[in-house]
Amino acid sequence: MDKILILDFGGQYNQLIARRVREQKAYAEIKPYNKITVDEIKNAGYSGIIFTGGPNSVYDEKSPHFSADILSIGVPILGICYGHQLLTYMAGGVVESANNISEYGKIEVAVEDNKLFENIPEKSIFWMSHTDYVSRVPDGFRCIATTDNCPCAAMCNEEKKIYGVQFHPEVTHSQFGKELLHNFLYNVCNCSGDWSMDKFTQNAIEKYKTELKDKKVLCALSGGVDSSVAAVLLHKAIGDNLTCVFVDHGLLRKNEGDIVEEIFKNQFSMNLIRVNAQERFLSKLACVTEPEKKRKIIGEEFIRVFEEEAKKIGHVNVLVQGTIYPDVIESGKGDAATIKSHHNVGGLPSVIDFDEIVEPLRELFKDEVRAVGLELGIPYDLVWRQPFPGPGLAVRVIGDLTVDKLDIVRDADAIFREEIANAGLEKETNQYFAVLTDTRTVGVMGDARTYGYTVALRAVCTDDFMTADFTRIPFDVLAKASNRITNEVRGISRVVYDITSKPPATVEWE
């Protein structure tokens, strides 16, 4: 299989580069520049290397550098932005600071006829974000693109198959970015295009059929995309040797527990144990108002319930986890500030008696996981399910939790989701839900005074959930949802729409 190395110098688009390469059917993996050596790269048999961008200047003492030996191992290289400047520096060219003529945004680039620019017009728009620029290309290189302010927007050494571009082909604002990456992969690296999700799925099933033959395998199924795809994949490989445990903590959305059971137990005939632990969770959560405390209680109780079920099954050989590639990349990096703790069954391995962990999706990005899910026949609605936090509705009921409040938020949420679907807006917004605030206000219904809860509706558009903008849902859709919620859900006298972005707010209210 072709493998492309994305050598990470700290740029913000590195995951995007890997995804774009994979979209072109070549497998790409990201490694921090200081966690891999030239010898390791040589031995790994990469078909090509991409040097990423990064926030630094090559002459800064602390800027990330790499051994120049990489330039002579015969593997094609493409440097992007900082990567382009670093290649220049490493090969003996000159990089200078442009001071007041930095280029940012969509810039017209004029390109020469070259393997890298096949099927790209002589002039087109690429996305730029730089202050430093290459003022003299290294010996053996020639400049192959320019902009009004940048004398060397791209360069190449065809003999050594080394290329550099000052712009970012991976972002969608670059009109012919896809073509450029395709050209590097197929004209320069001679990739064969052998990375596809149907092949991945078939290979994984075959692999686990052999590797996990006669082993007892256990999976914590949440009904989320990752654990569902991991479970079905393994079920195809080992059938009834896989047992899935689904803990229904009573904090799921309307009918969700039944839907999960119907799909996995009835449609896929999987060995599924549904644990109805609603009362157990609610009694632990009684009178708890502090969100972090709620999360902690739910996380711990989840592990206790799972532990009890696992004990009934006895010793298992393999524990399955739905880890995906962004989790793997993130866990290799330093700590960002913790805004709130995340509940994602991280404590399970410590309480289960097992020999090994299998993570069948650890090489895949989310969109690839979804493609595998569809390949496996998992229903579209589940594969494209919007994210839902592990602690579920506990973070969407502000203040203490009661059965009544959970019912109210569940019904309001179901109506809001239904109206978004009726308006055909499911694809326009990445996450949308209802929150039960702990504010009660005066209302009037049928000439009588009411004093009911305020429900907040939240909908966001985002690429990565790290930042988000509130979705501009048309007023008539909001009006219909509000009207239905106040009419159909008991105890609500007011509906508001959250128009805050992240930051400063987060997506969930808590």
Please count the other Cβ atoms lying within 10 Å of the Cβ belonging to residue 355: 11
For ligand XMP, give the closer residue by CB, 83 or 391: 391
Residue 339 parent element (H or E): none
Q: Are 254 and 285 in contact (CB under 8 A)?
A: no
For ligand XMP, give the closer residue by CB, 38 or 345: 345
The least distance separating ligand XMP from the CB of residue 220, rounded to whole angstroms, comes to 13
Give SS3 for 53: coil
Please give the radius of gyration of the chain, using alpha carbons only, rounded to the nearest integer.
26
Q: What is the Cα–Cα distance from 255 to 282, expressed in whole angstroms?
A: 18
For ligand XMP, give the closer residue by CB, 317 or 431: 431
- DSSP lists the bridge partners of residue 435 as 456
Q: What is the Cα–Cα distance from 249 to 251, expressed in whole angstroms?
A: 5
Q: Which of 212, 200, 498 is nearest to 324 (CA)?
A: 200
Is 261 designated active site?
no
The least distance separating ligand XMP from the CB of residue 343, rounded to whole angstroms, comes to 4
The least distance separating ligand XMP from the CB of residue 292, rounded to whole angstroms, comes to 11
> Of these residues, 130, 168, 182, 343, which one is catalytic?
168
The least distance separating ligand XMP from the CB of residue 322, rounded to whole angstroms, comes to 10
Q: What is the Cα–Cα distance from 414 to 224, expressed in whole angstroms?
A: 17
Q: What is the Cα–Cα distance from 445 to 319, expressed in whole angstroms?
A: 54
> Of these residues, 81, 150, 156, 189, which one is catalytic?
81
Is 168 designated active site?
yes
The least distance separating ligand XMP from the CB of residue 508, rounded to whole angstroms, comes to 3
The least distance separating ligand XMP from the CB of residue 98, rounded to whole angstroms, comes to 37
For ligand XMP, give the closer residue by CB, 446 or 504: 504
Q: Are 32 and 8 in contact (CB under 8 A)?
A: yes
Q: What is the Cα–Cα distance from 27 to 40, expressed in whole angstroms?
A: 18
For ligand XMP, give the closer residue by CB, 160 or 502: 502
The least distance separating ligand XMP from the CB of residue 465, rounded to whole angstroms, comes to 4
Instruction: Give me the amino acid identity at 60.
Output: D
Q: Are 400 and 287 in contact (CB under 8 A)?
A: yes
**Phi and psi dihedrals of 241, rounded to 5?**
-75, -10
The burial class, CB within 10 Å (0-12 / 13-18 / 19+), for 475 is exposed
Is 428 designated active site?
no
For ligand XMP, give the closer residue by CB, 32 or 387: 387
The least distance separating ligand XMP from the CB of residue 481, rounded to whole angstroms, comes to 19
Q: Which of 348, 449, 350, 374 is nearest to 201 (CA)?
A: 374
Q: Are 165 and 80 in contact (CB under 8 A)?
A: yes
> Of these residues, 170, 179, 375, 419, which one is catalytic?
170
Residue 170's contacts (CB-CB under 8 Å, 6 or more residues apart) are 13, 16, 17, 20, 80, 177, 181
Tell me the CA end-to-end span of the chain in Å, nearest whole number. Answer: 45
For ligand XMP, give the closer residue by CB, 164 or 390: 390
Residues forming contacts to ligand XMP in the complex (CB under 6 A) are 342-344, 387, 389-391, 431, 465, 502, 506-508
For ligand XMP, give the closer residue by CB, 106 or 502: 502
The catalytic residues are: 81, 168, 170
